[in-house]
Amino acid sequence: MAVPTDGASGSNDAVPASSGMKKLRFLVIGAGSRGNAYGRAVTVATRGVIHAVAEPHAFKRREFGKNYIWGSGGEASEGQEFADWKDWLRWETERRQKKAAGQDVPEGIDGVFVCTLDEMHVEILEAIAPLNLHILSEKPLATSLDDCLSIYNALRTGSPSKIFSIGHVLRYSPHNILLRDIILTDKVIGDVVSLEHCEPVGWWHFSHSYVRGNWRRGTPNGDGSLLTKSCHDIDFILWLLCSPPPGSAVNHPPHEPRSISSMGALTQFRPQRKPAAAGTATNCLSCPAERVCNYSALKIYRDMHLAKGHTDWPVSIVCPDIEDTLTTSGAAAAEDLLLSHLRQDYDRAKMSDESIASRTWYGRCVYEADNNVCDDQVVTISWDDDTVHKRPSKTASFHMIAPTEKQCERRGRVYGTHGEVSYDSRTITIYSFATRSTTVIEVPRQPPEEEKAHGGGDYGLTRAFVAAVDAVENGGMEVSEAQMKFVGCSLEEAVRSHAVVFAAEEARREEKVVKWKDWWEQKLATVGTI
């Protein structure tokens, strides 16, 4: 069993390189951590180029442009830098109008990476849909099922005309591609009976992103961290147990679930857990218990990162210009900048809830924050026998848990009729019932820059997306063929994967078991079958 080194396709060679090839050009909307992840991957791992950026934060926008577009000391050309995606949309619309009138205009782009805050996706995707561009959207696709279905309708009226991909990066890591091949192609454990999968978020990572950060509050419908953090874990499970197996015909139907249930709660990061020694303090910089608190913002951002010279995530999320400050003004100035951000706080009696929710508070006490998303959640999914396609019944369980040593290093176990497989993001271990022997496969590590990006998943997804675009634009391949050959996932499948997340969240909130077929048919009744 060969270990793949790229994305779903195992190669970026969509079409042979030649001087006559069209250079693929992409716009990135949102120059935050995810926008930069895709910017790096496109630049170093594909034949595409980042041509333009739309980002409201001036420093982030200029740094992104310097790193991936116009270079250090260079300047943006017309059509390369926008403070708002709507500015780009107006510019691109006018550019097309001028081109249609026969005027000389700058070249446009072939595709868009949508990397903004989750709640902005629906407006952006619906607005750019008429431009007929290739699109990769960061996960989640949207923050409600209605919006996901609305996006589907906007992007697909009939046959797909452009490549679409979603940021479900777990499908594209070499470890997970090999794992799926072992289970579904080689069938080393026979038929799957049950799967258990865990995402250990990491004790300080959860406090950074889901207590103090952008994803600390649930959506208006009450959906939370299962959507924003773990929707690609649910997708990973469905990729193994629901999606057509490798080598299936294009029209091979998915093995859809029978039932979905979930339970979860915010257990740790709430006022009832606040240490008595902290008293009434609401900010780490003024807290008498700061030195003995594991979640001290000073410990996490200064002591664990900045003091060691680390200015990347998560410190760069707190202070986007921290690296520039450290380089130009020194360590003391960088620490002063960091502390000035961490010192910022709010008084609920003086600031509206809307204002509090509108931004992040990285120095806030984790027990006095305005967070409400689960830090511990379990999802269970069951399947009936599919006698037509000979797919037996099975079950799956997923556990998202915050206070862990490991940070996003997924682990799990798959039980089969002939053996079992365990995995931990580094190794895959196979036990055979027939031989009573154990085989351990050490999955080769990716280059460091790729390894830290979801085990190579970010680069794998980017390679797959650009390869698909390349095959269509330069190779003349049909979109539907390129979509499945390189991306390996359709828009329909991406929407269905999100729907399972929304079903699980409904099950959790209402303390019920969702019967998938009836539930899904009811949700689709107003929009038509996808």
Q: Return d(Cα 326, Cα 371) in angstroms, integer.
A: 31
Distance of alpha carbon 188 from its chain centroid, rounded? 30
Q: Do residues 189 and 417 make contact, with C-beta atoms less than 8 angstroms apart?
A: yes
Give the pLDDT of residue 409: 95
76: pLDDT strictly greater than 60: yes
Report the alpha-carbon distance of residue 206 to residue 404 in Å, rounded.
9
Listed in order, the ranges of the chain carrying CATH 3.40.50.720 are 25-168
Q: Which residues contact 417 (CB under 8 A, 6 or more apart)?
A: 189, 190, 191, 193
Q: Is the pLDDT of residue 134 over 60?
A: yes
* Beta strands in 117-222, from DSSP E residues, in sequence order: 134-137, 164-166, 192-200
499 pLDDT tier (thresholds 50, 70, 90): very high
Read off the DSSP letter of residue 138.
P
pTM: predicted TM-score of the whole model, two decimal places:
0.93
Q: Is 6 a residue whose pLDDT tops 80?
A: no
Distance CA 458, CA 234 (A): 17
124-130 contact pairs (CB < 8 A, 24+): 124/29, 124/85, 125/151, 125/154, 125/155, 126/150, 126/151, 126/154, 127/86, 127/89, 128/89, 129/154, 129/155
pLDDT grade, residue 276 (50/70/90)? Answer: very high
Cα(501)–Cα(461) distance, integer angstroms? 21
Q: Residue 160: pLDDT band by 50, 70, 90 thresholds? A: confident
Strand partners, 489: none
- Among residues 329, 333, 300, 332, which one has the least CA distance to residue 317? 300
Are the C-beta atoms of 39 and 138 separated by less than 8 Å?
no
Summarize the confidence of residues 93-103 as an average pLDDT.
97
Q: Please compute, for residue 28, the number of CA atoms within 13 A of its CA located in the half-sphere on the CB side.
A: 31
For 458, what's the count of Cα atoms within 13 Å in the CB-facing half-sphere?
Answer: 25
* pLDDT value at residue 252: 87
Residue 455 has which token pair? 């085990």
The residue-averaged pLDDT of 346-358 equals 97
13 pLDDT above the threshold of 60: no
Question: Can you give the pLDDT at residue 14?
Answer: 55
Q: Does the pLDDT of residue 211 top 60, yes or no? A: yes
Mean pLDDT of the chain: 94
Pairing of strands 437-442, 164-166: unpaired
Q: Give the orientation angle of helix 145-155 with respect to helix 491-510, to 10 degrees.
A: 170
Judge contact between 172 and 1, C-beta under 8 A.
Answer: no
Q: Residue range 215-234: average pLDDT?
A: 97
Give ranges for CATH 3.30.360.10 in the chain.
170-269+373-526
- pLDDT of 11 reads 43
Which are the contacts of 528, defined by CB distance < 8 A and separation ≥ 6? none
Q: What percent of the chain has pLDDT over 70?
A: 95
- The second-level CATH assignment, the architecture, of 170-269+373-526 is 2-Layer Sandwich (3.30)
3 state DSSP class of 467: helix
Q: Are strands 437-442 and 427-432 parallel, antiparallel or unpaired?
A: antiparallel
* Superfamily name and number for 25-168: NAD(P)-binding Rossmann-like Domain (3.40.50.720)
Nearest to 455 by CA among 480, 428, 474, 476: 428
Q: Beta strand pairing status for 192-200 and 111-114?
A: unpaired
Residue 529 has pLDDT above 80, yes or no: no
Both structure tokens of 444 = 């080769």
Closest to 219 measured CA to CA, from 360, 119, 115: 119
Q: Which helix (H) or strand (E) holds 505?
A: helix 491-510
Segment (H or E) for 50? strand 49-54
Average pLDDT over residues 14-29: 78
Asked if residue 404 has pLDDT above 80, the reply is yes
Tens-place pLDDT, residues 386-400: 999 889 999 999 999
